[in-house]
Each structure stands twice: as C-alpha cells, then as structure tokens.
Amino acid sequence: MVLNDLHRDRLLSHYGIDSNHLAIKQMVDGDMLASIDQAKARDLLDQDVPSGGILIRYPDSQNFTIRLDQPKNGDDRRQRKYLRPTGAKNELYVPPGTDILKSNEIWITEGELKALRSSIDGLPVVALSGIWNWRDGQAKDDLAGLIADLDCDWNGKSFILIYDSDIKRNHPAYPAFQRLADVLYSHGARRVKIVTLPEIKDLKKAGIDDFLNKLNGSAVSKIEGLIKISPYIVPGALGYQRFIEELKKRNENDPELSIDIELATKALILAGKEADAHGLLSSFHLTTDRQRAYISDAKHYAKSRKSDEEKDITASISQNLKYGLFRDQVNREIIKVWFEDEKGISKAEYVYSDSSRFTKWIVDQIEKSYGKTPDKCLIDRIKSSITAQFLYSQREVIVSHRFLKVDGTIFYSLNDDSNHVLQITAKGVEILSSDADKNVVFINPPQSLAQPMPDLSTPPSGLDLLFTEDLVNITDPEDQMMYKVILAASLASDGPRHIICFHGEAGAGKSSAADLIKRLLDPEKALRQKMPSSQDGRKSLFNNRDVVLLDNLTNAPEWMLNDLCLASTGGHDVDRKLYTDSDEVLIDLHKLVLITGINPVGSWRSDFIERCVVFQLKRIGIVVDETAIWQRFEELRPKLLGALINTVKEALKILPEISKTNLTRISTGSRFGEACARAMGYEPNEFMNALKNRQKSAKIQMAYTDSVSKALLLFMGGVDSFKGTYSDLHRELGYLVCDEERRMRSWPKNGAALSRKVNTIKDVLQTAGLQISEDRDQRRGIIITKTGLPKDTDASAAPQNESQVESGQETAMSIGDVSSNAMDGITEIADCNNQDAPSPSDALDAKTVFSLPSRENFVEDSNNSIIKSANIASLRPRRPAKPRHTDSSMNLSETISSNCVPNGCHDGTGRKQVGISAIAGPSAGEIEDIKGDNAGSVYSAAKTPIMLESRRAGGLDSCAACGNDFPAHLASFFHGFKGPVCRKCSVRLNTDKSAKKSHPRDDTEMLFYYGWLKRLSNEESDGLLREFESKANSSALSFKEVIPSESC
C-alpha cells in the first residue's frame, strides 16, 4: 500500500504534515500511513462507508484508524471523519520518535494526526482516538476502565490535557479530561492541567495541529503560554489520597510545595474532610494564620466549584439537546436523545420531557460525564432549563407509538435497532431509516417489542395463513372475511375505527384471537391489559400503546364505555397539569381497542354496540399446545406482516373508488374496510352488507336482553301505537317487570329517567320495529308506533340459550323467522327454575306456561288443545303488581259485580290490557264438562285461555271473571311465584312453590284453581281436585251458585 498524491497534499494542507519529513517517510514506507479505497475501507471497518481515506496504523499494535475523505453521517446526525472497527480496543497513540517515559511532562490530545503533527516539532504529544477513549466504554468505574497504556505508576510526571477550541466548560465532553486528571492523580501524577485552545479566525474549531500549521514558529510559545496561565486541577475523590501520600514525602524546602499544599487542602475540603485538612496543615508546621487562610480559600473554592459544576452540567446537557426539541400534535414536549446499547452503539430515541425515560437519560449523562449520581434538585434544574428552551422551539411533529396515517400515507414503525419505518402509499412501500425527516415521530415505550422486516413478496391472500395454519379459531367464511378485513382496516384508518370484540364460552380461543391482532399490529411485553379501576389509570393505558387489549372484560362502568367510544371515533380527554393552575394535559384516546369476554360488554349501550364488530366463537373441541401455535406464528410473522402491508397498499389504490355514502356509523373504518375487502378479492359490498347485518343483529340481541327494551316490546305486543307521557309509560311498564328488577339500578325510577333511557335505545327499538317520536301536544309526551322489523334482519342473532349469558340473565330463546308483524308474535316462556324451556307439546307435563299476546297468533293443537304461537321467547316469571280492588269480605258474585265494567269499555281509559304468562283454556268439549259443575262460566268462550292478569298493553280476549276485555293469561303456580291479578276484578291466584302447597286465599281464587285442576286431567291433578273439593265444601263457596254478572 502507498500514500497517493491526493492524500499527501491533504496531509500537508490540512495538518502541516510533510510526507517528505524523515519520520513521516519511514511511516509511509512501513505502511503506517497509506491510502485505501472505499472497498478496502469497508472490509477493514466491516461497515458501509461513503469513501476511502487514509489508513493510520498504531505502532506495535494491530489497531488502526481511517480518516475518511467524505465524512459519514451517524445516527445522531453528527459527521464522523475518523472511524475505527466496532469493538476495537482503545489504545494510546504514540507517534514514532516520541518517548513519553523520558519526558517529565506529557501532553494528551484527541486525534492521531494531531499528535503526529506535534511530534514533528518535538512536542511530547500523545493522542486518544476519542475524547472518552482513555477508558473502556463498558466499564462503570473509571479506575477499572482505564486503558492499559495509562494504567501505570507515573511517579511524579505532570500532564497537560489539551482540548480543541470548541470544547468549553458547557460542552458535554468537557468532563472527560477532568475525570482523566483524577485517575492520573490516583496513579502518581504530580500535577495535571487542562487547556482549551483559543479559536482561530476562519476555522470552525482549532486543534493543536491547526495552531502549529497556521502560526508557524510562534505556535509553540503561545501554547506554552496558555499552559502556564492555566490553573492546576484539584485532585478528586479517586486521586486525593495518593496525592497527599506523595505530598508528605516531599522536601519542605521545595519551592513549589505551597502549590501542592493548596491543592491537597482543597481536595480534602471537597471530600468533606475538614479535620484531615487541619491535621495535614499542622504537619507542615504552618502558622495558625496560614492554616486559616488555606482553609478559607479551600472552602470558597469548594462552594464555587459546586455551583459552577452544576451550571456546567445544566449548560452542557441543554446545549446537547438544542436541536432535538419538538412538540407533538397535543402540544406535549418531545426530546430526541441517544442511548447506548450493550455494544456501545448509540441509538436515537424520542422521549417526552416529563417521562421517567428522559430522567434516566439525564442521570446516565451525568454519571458518564461527571462520574457521579445527581440529586433531585439538580435534575429539576436541568429539566427547567430545557423546558425554557421549548418556548423558542416551533417545530411540530406528529407522534404515534406504532402506526399512523398522515395525508394518505401510512407510517409503520418496526421499532428495531435501526429505527426502520415503513412508508406505505398507493405507489408502493418504502423503508425509511429516519422518521423525523417526514415530521413523523414514533415514541416506543420500553415495553414495546420489535417487529421483523416484513416479507413484501407475500400477496394479500397470505392472510389466509391465519386460518389454514389454525392460528385462529374461526371457521365460518364470513367471520374469516370480517377478521382479515377489520385487521387491515384498523392499521390503515386515520379516522374512526371499529372496536373488535370476541365473545364465547370458556375455551373458545377468544384471547388467542385478540392476541394475534395485537402481535401483528403492536406487539409488546404485556399483550393483555386490565381495565383500570379508576379514570386516572386510563392515562398510561391509552398513552403508551396504539392497540389496547382488554382481556376477560365482564363489566365496564359508564365512564369506561365513554372512553372506549372515544377511542373508536377519536377524541381527547383534558386533565389539569400537575403543579399548575390553568395548564392542561390532553390525553389522546384514539386507539384500536380489542375486548374479550364470555358475555358481551356494553350490550345496554346502543352507541357502543354500533362501534363494535363482534365475533362469537365456539368452544375448541381439541385442546392444542399454545406454545406450538405461537412458535408457528413467529415463523409466519414476516409473511403475515408482508401480506397485511400489501393489502393496505392495494386498498389505498382502491379507496377513491369506494362511495362515501350508505356507510355505517364508523364511516371511515367501514369505507377503508370495503377497500381492503376488494383488495383481498371479495365482491363489492360483500363486506359492507355483512357488517350492516352484523350490527342489525347486535341491536336485535340488545332489544331482547335490555329490560326496558323488552318491556316496551311486550307492552306494544297487542296495539299499533301508544300516545301518552313518559310517566304513563313508566307506570305501564312497571306492571311488566318483577319487584326485583324494578329495584335494580338499571331500571328507570320515574318518567324522566325512562325518557333518558329511551333516548339511548331509540335506534335499537327502531331496528326492532318500534318508532319513537316526541308528542309536542303535552309535556314529556311520547308516541310509539309499530313499524315492523326490517325483512333483511337476521334475528337469529339473539342469544340461543342461557349458557350464552351469565346465570340468571334474560335472553331470547328462539325468535324464529322475523317479519314485519313480528311484534305481534312476541311470546314468553316462564321457567322459574332457570332451566331450558320445554317445547310447546311438553308444556303441560312440564308445568310450563306459554304467553300468547294476541288472539291472531293463537292456533289450537288437536292433540293436546294447547294454544301455541309461531314465535316463542324465554322470560322468567314476573312478580305481579299488588291488586288494588281486593275485598276478602265479598263473595264471588259481589266481587265480580263491584269490579265489572260494561263490555268493550276496557278500563275506562280506552287502553286495552295484556299480560305476560298464560295457559290455554279448555277445548269446547271440556268447557261443557266444566259447565256441568257450574264452573264453566268463568270461561268466556271456547279457545279462550283462563285469564288472570293485571298488566296493561293491549289485547283482544276477555277476563273470565269480570268480562274486562283484555288477553287471557294465567301464570303457572307450579313454579314458585304468585299468580297475576285482573286489574278490574282483582282476581289473583296465590300459590307457593309447589301445587301440593297451594292454598287459594279467596272465593275467586278457589274458583279458578278449580278450573285449572279440571283442565289438567291427570293423576296428580285428580288427587288435588278431590282434596280441593273437600275443602271447598266446608267453605262458604258454592260452585253451583256462582254465575257471572249479566252486566259483564
């Protein structure tokens, strides 16, 4: 290898090194100085470099440095002209011909060529390859980290440590030589000085080589003059003891002894050892006044040094961050800092100024530069100084943790060692290494994990690997489409996003399905989060991730549902900044939310349901090792991520073709979802139609699970419309629910509360077939009109059995075919034991009662004479309202007459009445049998059920006792609840938990009890009938004399 002419000229012009000088010529001949090209430099450094350069070899060593022709830009945006192999051992560069062992004074500077230039003028200059390279970068202790070339006993030699002109007291590197001075004292150095060279005109910075080159003959004398006026460095905590030991060995007649005494006194005072300082001064037989003078000067020096050091620390850190200050979209302060990894490689990172991560960086910088741990007061002063600089920082950036969309471009952070960011547009995918150039900043919390480089050769169909490799327990083709589309749309949407909910019984793979989305989009150490117990906990939950996974969420308070709605559609929460009166902190709640749980969360909030895409998973039949599943996922992750990225890229091309009308509530998410579906090969509107049907089904499910909604549906079962006040409606609905439900907090306590509740479920009721409007003719008026269910609604989405909900929760058992007149077919099955409801043909044997709201839906079963309905739904037995017109002193005829109204007048208000629980009346032949006992008069006609009910709504049948015209219903007394009452004649069937313990309380009840037993006609009822007749004969009731009033 040779030194080419270009490099010879550069050495002479830049450094004043003449290649014809004897020492330099010998170095060139021995390949100690040589020219290398870019390829050779790349091979030697094992890294990419922009050019070749000058190779500088260390004497008697394998180490070398390359001075590049073109500087390389580092990750911290600083240009590096001198490069060494990564992990190379730090050594002291001693130019050929320089013998530091024979010199009483050694000069140390930074840069091999500076030392080489100084050696030409005979100066005892040695060089470090970096200002901190006198120590091993991995060692925490300065003594342990000292390089071997300096780790020796210097036996009274003095050192001059020379900085370039740019390294002043506030420079972050200034403490490097201060700490080196302390280490040299600990190794026997006599005295140490630090010199910062002055600036030279027209030069950005000046080193000792520039002084020697520019000032020619006067340079050496000027440098020596600077050294002479520079103060000596006071030994620090590492070196003062060795310094004092050497001081005690000195001759008292030494003319420079007073300088050493002064340094030793200051060192002891700095170390907090004032008593030792007095003892040291006494040992030199100094007068009391001289001792006091030394102590006083040392104390003043210690006080000023502490103040100056704190100022230097604050100034150096603030100066280091001068060009790394930003503000995000919510005006939070962001700082760009550099952390060193285990290999000593600096990595840029963005942190918030009020984060613990930034505090850690400050502590690391102070420990690294000054060798001590700062106290809280110093850290606070540094933060205050930096905060003041933000007043002049106007650069705003858009911040996210993992992904975001800006002006049609999607950015996705891999959070790897190189800070790679994927820029996705309709034109393609570009891999960026610097994100701040695009005014987009990603702040990755410590718990965030890196993503592998995606395999961009995988087409969108690669997402089918989720199902072909059995990574997700979803087998239905439509559900698979929804899963893939919602996954892709969640990554690409910059507006409202759907909340993804996974429900199903235990062991259905709900958490795994949500985990997979989390791992693909925003992996972190803690995949699943717990719902915070208070609103304060949501700050860290929403601030530190882009995907929030709430696992096993069974219930959520109102404030949490409100936050989740804001997370879906986008919004902020405002909080007062700590220790301020008017400053505010904005919490960005716009995140992708995943929810898992056995039961639906927020099923009573229609606005929440509209934001959700629900996946109902079935239990996995064969249990598979979860570890094996995730190992397979890790193998496929690059392909899955590549397929996801390519899907988004193709969707960006298709998006302009998607109509902006006829969308769902989450308009942006559904529109981009349609684009993603088409990018995957699905037909136009296939995804949109499936999404709309899913949301309609969710509303139907809510209609049959929400207590107020279900009561309204039952109330409107036999009428076409209702007009009245909310107070009237509240009173009527109260007859349709049991006492326990009325006492629940969710049940409205008055008309005003009912008005607020109806407003929240108005759209659900509309989907279920009820149109709610305001009656402006009266205060708090309401008009309810039946419109019928949409014909394309899939009502089978209603829960199918009680295993789908918590124990005791009311659900729809079977809705069947829903049509426009479905409101007329709402039917209830009362099962007080919370067991599966029997079929109609087994109802009597199972002692179960059927509710049939209107006569139009009644049909007679010729086999068992049971009136059935095409639509049956489950409902637990209801506790009736207390009867209002019961007088135990009246016999049956008096009771009927006193409570009777003319037929067709109903209850005097024009409103008809309806009940909930009923059983079919006897057939025509059976009525004749009962009439033979003069008990058949309680039945108004054939095919009319026995009627005992007090709850209003609407209907067509008549009360058998008083003739009041409303549907006939009778609750079973075999299942442990009190029977209903007729609102007009107060007839009520009082029973206990079994038929054998039932005891009618009055004549009317006895009459109906008798009719009931006659209707059953089985062995058990025959025995009860005989028992009843025997007791009835001893009472005042004569069955043969009971005849209804003619007025009825």
| 239 in Cβ contact with 185 (< 8 Å) | yes
- 148 and 161 co-located in one domain: yes
pLDDT higher than 60, residue 913 = no
Note the pLDDT of residue 1023. Answer: 64
Joined tokens for residue 715: 């109330």
Mean pLDDT on 918-942: 34
Note the pLDDT of residue 323. Answer: 61
Band of residue 1009 on the pLDDT scale cut at 50, 70, 90: low
Task: Out of 169-178, 254-263, 326-335, 852-861, pick the least confident.
Answer: 852-861
| 377 in Cβ contact with 364 (< 8 Å) | no
Pairing type for strands 828-830 and 849-850 reads antiparallel
Cα gap 965→959, rounded to integer Å: 6
* Domain end call among 55, 88, 121: 88
508: helix, strand or coil = coil
| 32 in Cβ contact with 57 (< 8 Å) | yes
Note the pLDDT of residue 35. Answer: 94
Mean pLDDT on 1005-1014: 51
* 454 domain residue, yes or no: no
Band of residue 1045 on the pLDDT scale cut at 50, 70, 90: very low
Mean pLDDT on 1008-1028: 57
456 C-beta neighbours (distance < 10 Å), count: 17
pLDDT higher than 80, residue 383 = yes
1027: helix, strand or coil = helix
Note the pLDDT of residue 76. Answer: 54
Task: Out of 4-13, 226-235, 306-315, 824-833, pick the least confident.
Answer: 824-833
Task: Out of 404-413, 621-630, 838-847, 1027-1036, pick the least confident.
Answer: 838-847
- 336 and 300 co-located in one domain: no
pLDDT higher than 60, residue 723 = yes
Band of residue 542 on the pLDDT scale cut at 50, 70, 90: confident
- 265 and 298 co-located in one domain: yes
Mean pLDDT on 149-164: 92
Note the pLDDT of residue 112. Answer: 93
Q: pLDDT tens, 170-207?
A: 787 888 999 999 999 999 999 999 999 998 888 888 99
Note the pLDDT of residue 971. Answer: 31
Give every CB contact of residue 250 below 8 A, 6+ residues apart in sequence: 257, 260
* Domain end call among 646, 661, 683: 646
**With b meaning 16 or more CB within 10 Å and e meaning fewer, what string describes 629-660?**
bbeebeebbbbbbbbbbbbbbbbbebbeebee
- 59 and 177 co-located in one domain: no
Share of the chain above pLDDT 70, in %: 71
The DSSP bridge partners found for residue 193 are 160, 232
Cα gap 827→871, rounded to integer Å: 6
Higher pLDDT, residue 484 or 557 = 484
Task: Out of 658-662, 853-857, 925-929, pick the least confident.
Answer: 853-857
Mean pLDDT on 884-910: 34
Mean pLDDT on 360-386: 84
* 818 domain residue, yes or no: yes
pLDDT higher than 70, residue 952 = no
* 253 domain residue, yes or no: no
* 698 domain residue, yes or no: no
- 387 and 502 co-located in one domain: no
Task: Out of 58-67, 285-294, 840-849, 995-1004, pick the least confident.
Answer: 840-849
Band of residue 330 on the pLDDT scale cut at 50, 70, 90: confident
Token match 């040392």: residue? 298
Band of residue 1022 on the pLDDT scale cut at 50, 70, 90: low
Higher pLDDT, residue 795 or 702 = 702
Task: Out of 507-511, 764-768, 964-968, pick the least confident.
Answer: 964-968
| 939 in Cβ contact with 958 (< 8 Å) | no
Note the pLDDT of residue 68. Answer: 93
Quote the Cα angle for 436-439-440, to 5°: 75
Residue 63: φ, ψ to 5° = -75, 155
Q: What is the dihedral of CA 99, 102, 107, 113, to 10 degrees?
A: -10
Count of structural domains within the chain: 7
- 382 and 307 co-located in one domain: no
Give every CB contact of residue 14 below 8 A, 6+ residues apart in sequence: none
Band of residue 507 on the pLDDT scale cut at 50, 70, 90: confident
Handedness of CA 660, 665, 669, 672 (dihedral sign): negative
* 407 domain residue, yes or no: no
Domain that holds residue 371: 321-396
- 287 and 205 co-located in one domain: no
Identify the burial level of 112 via C-beta atoms within 10 angstroms of its C-beta, where 0-12 means exposed, 13-18 middle and 19 or more buried.
buried
Cα gap 115→315, rounded to integer Å: 30
Nearest to 564 by CA among 597, 516, 532: 532
Instruction: State the average pLDDT for the chain.
Output: 74
Pairing type for strands 125-128 and 158-163 reads unpaired
* 420 domain residue, yes or no: no
Note the pLDDT of residue 579. Answer: 64
Band of residue 780 on the pLDDT scale cut at 50, 70, 90: confident
DSSP character string of 699-751: HHHHHTTSHHHHHHHHHTSS-SEEEEEHHHHHHHHHTTS-HHHHTSTTS-SSH
Q: What is the dihedral of CA 381, 387, 388, 389, to 10 degrees?
A: 120
542: helix, strand or coil = helix
Share of the chain above pLDDT 90, in %: 25
Joined tokens for residue 352: 């918030």
Note the pLDDT of residue 517. Answer: 93
Cα gap 293→297, rounded to integer Å: 6
385 C-beta neighbours (distance < 10 Å), count: 16
Note the pLDDT of residue 741. Answer: 81
- 304 and 155 co-located in one domain: no
Cα gap 40→45, rounded to integer Å: 9
pLDDT higher than 60, residue 360 = yes
* Domain end call among 88, 104, 121: 88
Nearest to 999 by CA among 1043, 1031, 1038, 1022: 1031
| 172 in Cβ contact with 319 (< 8 Å) | yes
* 417 domain residue, yes or no: no
Note the pLDDT of residue 1027. Answer: 62
Joined tokens for residue 362: 């400050």
Cα gap 242→189, rounded to integer Å: 9
* 749 domain residue, yes or no: yes
- 210 and 270 co-located in one domain: no
pLDDT higher than 80, residue 718 = no
- Provide the edge-to-edge strand list for the sheet that holds 325-327: 325-327, 333-340, 346-352
- 206 and 332 co-located in one domain: no
pLDDT higher than 70, residue 920 = no
| 829 in Cβ contact with 875 (< 8 Å) | yes
Task: Out of 72-81, 243-252, 483-492, pick the least confident.
Answer: 72-81
- 266 and 129 co-located in one domain: no
Note the pLDDT of residue 345. Answer: 63
Q: What is the CATH number of the domain that holds 536?
A: 3.40.50.300
Q: pLDDT tens, 958-979?
A: 444 555 443 333 332 222 233 4
Give every CB contact of residue 507 below 8 A, 6+ residues apart in sequence: 619, 620, 623
- 560 and 625 co-located in one domain: yes
Task: For the full predicted model, state whether its pTM sits above 0.75.
Answer: no
Task: Out of 301-305, 916-920, 932-936, pick the least confident.
Answer: 916-920
Cα gap 493→403, rounded to integer Å: 10
Q: Which amino acid is it at 618?
A: K
